[in-house]
Structure 1
Amino acid sequence: MYELFVLGELKTEPKHGYELQTILKNTVGPIRKISSGTLYPLISRLVKNGRISHHKENPENGRPRKIYEITENGNEHFLELMKKPLEYNTDTELIFHFKLTYFQYVTQDLQLECLQHYLEYLQYILKDVISSESLIISKKQIPEKKRIQILRLFDHRKHVTMTDIEWVKKEIERIKKFNETF
């Protein structure tokens, strides 16, 4: 998952490890913690696999640091990661957000494919929420106060998911219209 982030960021411009870590922390938000023990071994693997390279920079008033750049092999792998369909797990939304961030580096057809994969994921989530909601409604043995709270939770999830679905559909239409004008 973070491989896509590192490669995408290095497509923008070369960066040093601390810069990558700072951007990643800002990207994933305040709840998810990203340690150096996660990022730096990943960077080392990417260097070992020939997906990124590095050179040392010696600033006048600072510590020497490694500057990382994406290689041709890394560009190819980045494209493979962008093409890879989303897996349905706890990281699905974050991976989609990474992909969305790097749409500028892929074709509009691939952008549409990524959006379609995410739309299918959201529709899967919505179907599950509606199914779970029906199940709770039918379970008369659940105390009424508890059932009401559970149904409120499902109602919230349903509305959030439906809003996401509408956004994705609009984005798909926007990209399709853009394609038609060119």
Structure 2
Amino acid sequence: MLELSILGFLAEEPLHGYELKERLKALTGHVRPVSDGALYPALTRLVAAGKLDQHTEQGASAAPRRVLSLTDLGREDLLERLRHPGQAEITDQVRFNTVLAFLRHLPDREEQAAVLRRRLDFLLTPTSFFYDDGRPVRAEETGDLFRQGMLRVARATGEAERAWLQEALDVLAQPS
């Protein structure tokens, strides 16, 4: 997901490393912080693979800074990642939000809709944090106040997301 986020932010505009890190932190930092030990090796891999260009610019009042921009190969990689997110990118909320953050870069509305349909299909499958003999436990079925809270919040969030996904699919189905 880190590489998808890097490619996605750089598809919008060239950024220097610090700006990129701040945007990554804003996107998922409260849930999954991005360390320098993960970010800079990922940038090095993407540059080596020809997906990013880098050049040095003089900083306004600081030392020179490395500015990164997306190459055509990087854009192709971004679009491929958006067209075909892995199962974890569909089922994990934080990962799916990362896909959503950049899904607008896919130029084909049907491809966008296909990704949203996969998420909606996942959300329509009955599930729970807790099970009784293989059956999902509902909030009303547990006597545990705290588990009940988890289940109620998850249900409300799921209902809101399913409603939004259906609305978005309806919009994407309209002629552009």
TM-score grouping bracket, smaller chain normalisation:
0.7 to 0.9
Partners of 1:31 and 1:104 in 2: CA distance: 23
Shift in Å at residue 84 of structure 1?
Answer: 1.5
Q: Give the one of 153, 168, 171 matched to 2:168.
A: 171
Matches for 1:1-182 after TM superposition, within 5 Å: 1-88=1-88, 92-106=92-106, 107-124=108-125, 127-129=126-128, 131-133=135-137, 137=141, 145-146=143-144, 150-177=147-174, 180=175, 182=176
Partners of 1:158 and 1:69 in 2: CA distance: 40
More helix as a share of residues: 1
TM-score, structure 1 length as denominator? Answer: 0.81
Unaligned runs of 5+ residues in structure 1 are 138-143
1:141 aligned residue: none
Shift in Å at residue 30 of structure 1?
Answer: 2.5
Please give the per-residue CA displacement for 1:28-48, whole angstroms capped at 9, x wherever unaligned: 153432111111110011011
Contact 1:9/1:20, CA 8 A, preserved across alignment = yes
Partners of 1:14 and 1:150 in 2: CA distance: 45
Q: Percent identity?
A: 25
Unaligned runs of 5+ residues in structure 2 are none
Q: What SS is found at the alignment partner of 1:66?
A: strand
Q: Which one-letter code corresponds to 2:93 in the other structure? A: E
Contact 1:50/1:71, CA 8 A, preserved across alignment = yes
Partners of 1:120 and 1:26 in 2: CA distance: 28
Partners of 1:11 and 1:154 in 2: CA distance: 38
Instruction: Compute the RMSD of aligned alpha carbons.
Output: 2.5
Contact 1:54/1:66, CA 8 A, preserved across alignment = yes
Partners of 2:91 and 2:34 in 1: CA distance: 14
Partners of 2:36 and 2:147 in 1: CA distance: 39
Partners of 2:62 and 2:68 in 1: CA distance: 18
Shift in Å at residue 4 of structure 1?
Answer: 0.8
Q: Alpha carbons of 1:91 and 1:18: their partners in 2 closer, same or farther (altered >3 Å)? A: farther
Shift in Å at residue 95 of structure 1?
Answer: 2.5
